[in-house]
Amino acid sequence: MVGNFIGDFVKGRELAHRFQPGIVKGIGLHRAIDSYTDAHPVVRQSKKRLSETYRHYSGVITDVFYDHFLASQWSSFSDEPLDHFAQRSYALLLAYEPILPEEVKQMMPHMMKGNWLLNYQHLDGIARALSGMSRRTTFQSKMEQAIDDLKTHYALFGDEFQQFFPELKSYCNEWIAHSS
């Protein structure tokens, strides 16, 4: 879980000397999920709806939208309540704080204070996340405006998430079963 969480912040392929095997496997899973997601036709459909306005940020925005649908429909996917999962996740990340990349260490207090994992279920939580990401981009991204696209095409993005997520879960289960 920790490796999967930090996957975007870890560069390179030689990870075994930097992390324990479970963390390395989590980073590998994160990278496999990214590749699978980027190539998936349903995700491409969602991104295409956003690409004219947001260009290369459309993928990041689609990920955030899908995070919203996962959080808002959490009980359909897990028996563990979302608030318990969020608190357990934060505690686990804090337990591994010494090995977390600096960017993650800087982000964690904000993530925990704003309880991002729980608040992604609400549109205002998504709006805050998109605005925060927009402030941190080097170029003008307009991500703060993307909440309007989510509201406008809510049913379409929701349907696409519902098509995609079960396939992603199957892919992850297969990847975990067959990775060393």
Q: Where are the domains of the chain?
A: 2-178
What's residue 70's pLDDT? 98
pLDDT tens for residues 1-46?
A: 999 999 999 998 889 999 999 999 999 999 999 999 999 999 999 9
Tens-place pLDDT, residues 62-99: 999 999 999 999 999 999 999 999 999 999 999 999 99
The mean pLDDT of 134-155, rounded to a whole number, is: 90
pLDDT in tens, 164-174: 999 999 999 99
Per residue, the 3-state secondary structure of the chain, as one string, reads CHHHHHHHHCCCCCCCCCCCHHHHHHHHHHHHHHHHHHHCHHHHHHHHHHHHHHHHHHHHHHHHHHHHHHHHCHHHCCCCCHHHHHHHHHHHHHHCHHHCCHHHHHHHHHHHHCCHHHHCCCHHHHHHHHHHHHHHCCCCCCHHHHHHHHHHCHHHHHHHHHHHHHHHHHHHHHHHHHCC
**What pTM was estimated for this model as a whole?**
0.92
